[in-house]
Amino acid sequence: MSRAHDHLIERLERILGPGGVFHRPADLLVYEYDGSVEGAVDTAAPVAVALPTTTEQVAAIVRLANEFDLPVTPRGAGTGLSGGAVAQRGGIVVALTRMDRILEIDPEDRTALVEPGVINLELSEATIPGGHFFAPDPSSQKACTVGGNVAENSGGPHCLKYGVTTNHVLGLEVVLPDGRVVWTGGRAGHAPGYDLTGALVGSEGMLGIVTKALVRLTPNPEATLVELAAFPDVESASLAVSRIIAAGIVPAALELMDNLTIQAVEPAYHAGYPMDAGAVLLAELDGIAEDVRAEGEDVAVLCRETGATSVRVASEKPERDLLWKGRKMALAAMGRLTPNYYLHDTVVPRTKLPAALRRVAEVATEYDLPIANVLHAGDGNLHPLILFDRRQPGAVERVLHASHELLHSCVELGGALSGEHGIGTEKRAALTLVFSADDLAAMAGIKNSFDPKSCFNPEKLFPAGYRCGEVRALRAQALAQKLGIYAM
């Protein structure tokens, strides 16, 4: 290793102590990846991984990175699925997992002040006894961190009723790319100036490193009801979704799983999903007890009217948890069907869901790849799981092509590239499908305003080689993509 390298490690260790820096190749290996399947996003090795325990340490690391002219990539639990936490251009990874304290829970203000490394589910577990919960609940909630949720503006099944992460973040302590520590937002509303909190949430670690988050807590609902309706096919289940929404009911969650998913889940977890069902719909209703009871009856009737062959109702927690278990463990259960899967994430307007699902089926046939569907049906957020075996030659390429085809179809249906996983490196080439060069220039303006030297999480979100001036090239690229000339 070079002298400059040794000097960097020494300086980092001076900030963090010897246990706070990883720099040996074997220690760095795991930090080359995020949660995505190998081959879906690039991997890259950082020079070092810094594991701060205080805001001041984060600021000192950032100043050091500036001094050494190194890029900085913030990282939570590494459960992301779009390459956001991968140090694309090397440099220093700032892993925030040791900043994992819940600093304050305030039931009266209905807020919690947390460090970024707090695990999503642990926050709710800490606040539920006092009468509140943290509403964003991504499927990785047992492992993912609140800081990561902020960076990716995470969703989850319950955002149908409760909104996504940005609706639950009131203020942020942030280390800016120049090493300054600032607060945006706060406990009181109406802070003067631009809503920088809003700009930071979902910015994929490209604008600042969150060192504290002040989040909103939601009162525990008085009553909760979970219904599981089995349908002969996906179409009738989708119809039920439309009818429930049209009836003016906003369930807390409305999840759909197809037969292939049931085949994986039921033998593993015995959640009680009928093995012969074409699809199951999981609806959760919560709120004031009287309303929940009445809405539960309405939902059951609507499901039967649209062809449900059975409707199970669970009001007590153990039984509700069992019905949810199948959904929450769906990804883990896929191992029963396949050695590998690629988890896709796109979103379409709710009414386009049946069309999008038909397209998924066509792509599965075209590419000869089984695709299981688990979706946040109430939001129009699809998660096709493309099943494959990476040991077969060309399998990964085929999967990626199928996945791009799905992306194009969803955009054509009026959808977006990602509902909750983010763009990262995974989908940056596709950004020009939905945004013009001018749209991208506006986003680049945000980036430049926070990070003029582009040292925070470089080479993410914007198409590779993106410069504000390359308008013509981008337009040509967009045109090529529309014509189906898609180069990976």
Partner 1 sequence: MNTPPTIDGLTPSALVTPLSAAELADTLAQAAADGLKVAPIGGGTALALGNPPERVDLALSTLALNGVLDYEPSDLVLSVAAGARFADVQALLAGHGQTLPLDPPGDAAATIGGLIATALAGPRRLGSGTLRDLLIGIAVAHPAGIVTKSGGMVVKNVTGFDLPRLYHGSLGTLGVIVSANLKVLPRARAEATLIARVVALDDALAAADRVRASRLRPVALEAALVDGAWFAAVRLEGRPATVATLAAEAAGLLESDTETLHGTDSAAWWRRYVAHQAVHAAPDEALLRFAVRPRATADLVRAVLRAVDGSGAIPRAVMASVGVGTVIVRAALDPEGAAATLSSLTATISPIADHVTVIAAPPAWKRGLDVWGGAPQTLDVMRALKSHFDPERVLNPGRFAGRI
Of residues 146-175, which lie at the interface with partner 1 (CB under 8 A)? 152-153, 155, 159, 163-164, 166-167
How many residues in total does the chain contain? 488
Specify the residue, 102 or 176, whose C-beta has the smaller distance to partner 1.
Answer: 176
CB of 217 to partner 1, least distance (A): 11
92 touches 198 (CB < 8 A):
no
Specify the residue, 116 or 380, whose C-beta has the smaller distance to partner 1.
Answer: 380
141 touches 121 (CB < 8 A):
yes
4 forms part of the interface with partner 1 (CB under 8 A): no
115 touches 56 (CB < 8 A):
no
- Chain centroid, CA 349 distance in Å: 19
Specify the residue, 248 or 318, whose C-beta has the smaller distance to partner 1.
Answer: 248
337 touches 370 (CB < 8 A):
yes
Token duo for residue 362: 């066509």
Specify the residue, 11 or 293, whose C-beta has the smaller distance to partner 1.
Answer: 293
What's the first-to-final CA gap in the chain, in angstroms?
34
For 33-75, give the DSSP string: --SSPBTTB-----SEEE--SSHHHHHHHHHHHHHHT--EEEE
- Candidate segments 55-63, 115-123, 227-235, 374-382, binder of partner 1 by CB under 8 A: 374-382
CB of 69 to partner 1, least distance (A): 21
Biggest CA–CA distance in the chain, Å, is: 73
CB of 123 to partner 1, least distance (A): 19
301 forms part of the interface with partner 1 (CB under 8 A): no
* CA-wise closest residue to 426 among 117, 81, 129, 48: 81
Footprint of partner 1 on 281-300 (CB under 8 A): 287-288, 290-291, 294
Site string for partner 1, 177-216 (x = CB under 8 A): -----xxx-xxxxxxxxxxxxxx-xxx-------------
Selected from 10, 316, 397, 439, the binder of partner 1 by CB under 8 A is: 439
H helix or E strand, kind and range, residue 218: strand 218-219
* CA-wise closest residue to 435 among 380, 477, 384: 477
* CA-wise closest residue to 343 among 36, 84, 34: 36
381 forms part of the interface with partner 1 (CB under 8 A): yes
- Write phi, then psi, for 344 (nearest 5 degrees): -95, 160
Selected from 53, 54, 66, 242, the binder of partner 1 by CB under 8 A is: 242
Site string for partner 1, 339-368 (x = CB under 8 A): --------xxxxx-----------------
Count of positions on this chain that bind partner 1 (CB under 8 A): 85
Token duo for residue 108: 């009266």
Specify the residue, 115 or 152, whose C-beta has the smaller distance to partner 1.
Answer: 152
Residue 355 contacts by C-beta under 8 Å, 6 or more apart in sequence?
348, 413
Selected from 443, 454, 473, 482, the binder of partner 1 by CB under 8 A is: 443
130 forms part of the interface with partner 1 (CB under 8 A): no
Footprint of partner 1 on 64-123 (CB under 8 A): 106, 108-111
419 forms part of the interface with partner 1 (CB under 8 A): yes
CB of 11 to partner 1, least distance (A): 27
Alpha-carbon distance of 258 to 281, in angstroms, equals 9
Footprint of partner 1 on 243-262 (CB under 8 A): 245-246, 248-250
442 forms part of the interface with partner 1 (CB under 8 A): yes
For 186-203, give the DSSP string: -SSS--SS--HHHHHTTS
